[in-house]
Amino acid sequence: MSADAVIQEQTDVTGALYRAAMGAPNQAYYLRHFARFDAAGKTGISWNWAVFASPLNWLIFRKMWGLARWYALVLGLLVAALLGIGRFGWRYSSATAWALLLFVLLASSVIAAIYANAAYYRFCEKRITRALVANLGVHRACEMLTGQASSARRGWALAGLNLLGCCLLLVAAVNSTGAQQLRRPSLSFAAPIPEGASRTLRVTAPLKSIPPVLAMATSAPVPAASAEPATSVAPTASAEPATSAVPATQAAVLAEAPPQSEPARPGPRYYVQVGAYAKKDNARKVMLRLQTTDLEAHRQLVSTKRGALIQVRVGPLASRSDALAAADQIKALDLPALLVKH
């Protein structure tokens, strides 16, 4: 047998072993790179798009368990350093953290895609060497390598697991967002309260009777217009110009109303504070219990170091004795009562 024939036979045997070790998926692609490595006598860099898309999935599909564990460990440590130690140490923003994470993932995919074919070449050579050392012969070695190689069914199973994992992550994210919205306190008001205005939310009873002055105004008959023309009177120098015309009915009511005396200086007012609550439902429950009494209760939004609280008070009360009596009624309902003086 000539030297060329021996070389050709060795090449055919090597190709058969390579095909058995790598399996059917993308066999022509890897055989082309393996032949280049054999001709050069060493491995080199190349590009693998499948590895760039998902390095860890490719390693698991090719059953390169050792490299898969190392890749997952190194990548996990880098992610933990960026989002944990690095973020608290350098105090960069969330946007910077996500940008660094994306850079690490992209860099790891690029490096893996460049050296994946060389790593797979060495992996297949080790498998072939172990099969030949077992003295099985080329035919038996090919059968053993074919049983260990990856198949299209394995690829579909791995894709299904990836899809299931993505669905579980999506469901977990949706549930987490819904739980955060349920835990978020909701204090809604009809309109913002201006600065300096009273923040007291009072519950008042509807107006059951019309005040006497308004009753007189609404029941007084409207006098008929005089047929005689009205004579105009020239204003004197001391007369003040009228700012608005007043109807006759309102003028009569104002004339009959007693003159208003100067309001007396208000004395101290007393309140009984029942509690301050962060949740709107708790304040509402206390208000419902206070409605069983004849006490005037109201809610008030206050700002504290712990945040916005809803304060429940009873009052105002004219005297300290009235406040103490109200406090006794509140304590009878198993509610706290604190006397406050303004």
Residue spans per domain, the chain: 3-150, 270-341
Q: In this model, does residue 143 exceed pLDDT 80?
A: yes
pTM of the model: 0.49
Cα 58 to Cα 123: distance, rounded to the nearest angstrom = 14
Beta-bridged to residue 308, according to DSSP, are: 303
pLDDT of residue 50: 92
Q: Class of the 270-341 domain?
A: alpha beta
pLDDT of residue 209: 46
Q: What is the mean pLDDT of residues 159-184?
A: 82
Which of 132, 153, 142 has its CA nearest to residue 22? Answer: 142
Between these two residues, 45 and 282, which has the higher pLDDT value? Answer: 45
pLDDT of residue 126: 92
127-153: burial string, b at 16+ Cβ within 10 Å, e else: bbeebeeeeeeeeebbebbeeebbeee
Q: In this model, does residue 99 exceed pLDDT 50?
A: yes
The average confidence (pLDDT) of the chain is: 74
| Cβ(51)–Cβ(113) below 8 Å | yes
Which of 319, 237, 230 has its CA nearest to residue 272? Answer: 319
Q: In this model, does residue 124 exceed pLDDT 70?
A: yes
Structure tokens at 209: 């009777």
Q: What is the mean pLDDT of residues 256-276?
A: 64
Q: In this model, does residue 236 exceed pLDDT 60?
A: no
Q: What is the mean pLDDT of residues 23-52?
A: 92
Question: For residue 81, what is the DSSP state?
Answer: I
Q: What is the mean pLDDT of residues 8-26?
A: 82
Q: What is the mean pLDDT of residues 247-257?
A: 44
